[in-house]
């Protein structure tokens, strides 16, 4: 009996000590990654109203400048793009947002060619959501792939999930340092001014991402959520540099177009813009730099102006298909 008492006492002291150490680590983490954490707090726990919410992957995060959107359209918008997000994560972000915020008038979802592939990595970087495990939507989303009960009630175990970059960031934060960032505004982060060097060499894998039935079901669920909340949903496909994603992922565009057509959802494809051939506007083949993002955001804002016009328009200079349904 005495042994059990000592064991429990030692266990309690160790857990308490680890919990105290983690408090300092978490403080450093929050300091260094303050921008990432503050924008997630706005998305998951915020209460403010925005007319338009942009969701998607890094191709939303670095491409859509709310300052331009708000100026052109006279709206209040927020960029909720997440690095590496597929439809599973995009769906989660939308649900979290609607659980705490008033419903926006518009949700603009940019889907990457990997959007329907949710089996291999449902959430690209689960670490960023560990501080939000008290949120039921986040908790249940991570539960199939992570030890969420342990990570929630023994939070110091979260350190075991961190990679060296996150640990180094936490140490730097304890020294009062913040992660160096480009200018940012309402969830948007500038992509910098780097350009693609010539001759062009592809840096992304030419993987044929499958169209997972669970992925298509998630898109259909998003459509139902938006209709239920009287939100106008618009699907987009952002510019790429000289890539033929329809060859790499042959089922992606037919699937996306079919779902949008049958659900009467506007789909804006920006695959054929003339800027897609300008290496000076891209930092890599899938991401525009700051100058390219400003051009694209302005073009998108002008297209969104016409969201109530039901027509198919072909720009003679850009060869871009617009379909409003």
Residue 53 inside a domain? The answer is: yes
Using the structure block, give the residue that is written with the tokens 């006279």.
Answer: 74
Cα 99 from Cα 120, distance rounded (Å): 27
Q: pTM value?
A: 0.90
Residue 9 inside a domain? The answer is: no
Q: Which of 93, 89, 150, 152 is nearest to 121 (CA)?
A: 89
Residue 115 near residue 215, CB atoms below 8 Å: yes
Dig out the tokens for 162 from the structure: 């961190």
Residues 6+ apart with CB under 8 A from 209: 113, 114, 116, 117, 248, 249, 252
State which residues form the domain around 93. 27-323
Residue 6 inside a domain? The answer is: no
Residue 20 inside a domain? The answer is: no
Residue 1 inside a domain? The answer is: no
3-state SS assignment for residue 12: helix
Residue 143 near residue 123, CB atoms below 8 Å: no
**3-class SS letters over 221-252:** HHHHHHHHCCCEEEEEECCCCCCCHHHHCCCH
Residue 247 inside a domain? The answer is: yes
Residue 288 near residue 62, CB atoms below 8 Å: yes
Cα 189 from Cα 167, distance rounded (Å): 23
pLDDT at 311: 37
CATH of the domain at 49: 3.40.50.1110
**DSSP-assigned letter for residue 283:** E
Query: To the nearest 5 percent, what fractions of the chain are helix, strand and coil?
Result: 50, 10, 40
pLDDT at 15: 81
Residue 312 inside a domain? The answer is: yes
Q: What b-and-e string marks burial along 312-325, b requiring 16 or more CB atoms within 10 Å of the CB?
A: eeeeeeeebbbbbe
pLDDT at 39: 94
Residue 13, Cβ neighbours under 10 Å: how many? Answer: 10
Q: Write out the chain's pLDDT in tens, 325 residues.
A: 677 777 777 777 788 888 888 888 889 999 999 999 999 999 999 999 999 999 999 999 999 999 999 999 999 999 999 999 999 999 999 999 999 999 999 999 999 989 999 987 889 999 999 999 999 999 999 999 889 999 999 998 998 888 889 989 998 998 889 988 888 889 999 998 999 988 887 776 667 788 989 999 999 999 999 999 999 999 999 999 987 766 778 889 999 999 999 999 999 999 888 899 999 999 998 999 999 999 999 999 999 988 654 433 434 334 444 433 3
Domain count, the chain: 1
Residue 271 inside a domain? The answer is: yes
pLDDT at 21: 83
């Amino acid at each position: 009996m005495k042994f059990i008492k000592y064991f429990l006492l030692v266990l309690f002291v160790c857990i308490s000590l680890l919990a105290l150490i983690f408090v300092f680590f978490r403080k450093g983490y929050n300091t260094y990654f303050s921008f990432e954490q503050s924008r997630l707090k706005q998305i998951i726990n915020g209460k403010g109203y925005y007319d338009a919410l942009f969701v998607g992957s890094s191709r939303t995060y670095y491409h859509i400048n709310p300052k331009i959107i708000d100026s052109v359209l006279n709206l209040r918008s927020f960029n909720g793009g997440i690095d590496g997000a597929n439809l599973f994560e995009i769906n989660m972000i939308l649900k979290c947002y609607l659980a705490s915020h008033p419903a926006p008038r518009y949700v603009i979802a940019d889907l990457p060619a990997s959007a329907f592939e949710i089996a291999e990595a449902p959430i690209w970087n689960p670490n960023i959501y560990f501080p939000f495990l008290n949120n039921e939507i986040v908790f249940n989303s991570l539960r199939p792939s992570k030890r969420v009960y342990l990570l929630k009630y023994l939070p110091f175990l979260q350190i075991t999930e961190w990679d060296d970059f996150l640990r180094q960031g936490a140490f730097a934060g304890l020294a009062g340092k913040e992660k160096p960032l480009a200018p940012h505004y309402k969830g948007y982060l500038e992509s910098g001014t780097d350009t693609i060097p010539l001759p062009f060499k592809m840096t992304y894998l030419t993987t044929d991402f499958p169209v997972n039935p669970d992925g298509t079901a998630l898109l259909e669920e998003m459509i139902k959520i938006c209709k239920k909340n009287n939100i106008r949903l618009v699907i987009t496909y952002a510019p790429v540099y000289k890539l033929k994603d329809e060859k790499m992922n042959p089922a992606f565009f037919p699937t996306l177009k079919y779902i949008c057509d049958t659900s009467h959802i506007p789909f804006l494809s920006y695959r054929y813009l003339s800027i897609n051939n300008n290496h000076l506007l891209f930092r890599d083949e899938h991401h525009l730099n700051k100058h390219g993002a400003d051009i694209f955001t302005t073009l998108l804002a002008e297209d969104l102006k016409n969201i109530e016009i039901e027509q198919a328009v072909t720009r003679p200079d850009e060869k871009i298909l617009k379909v409003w349904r």
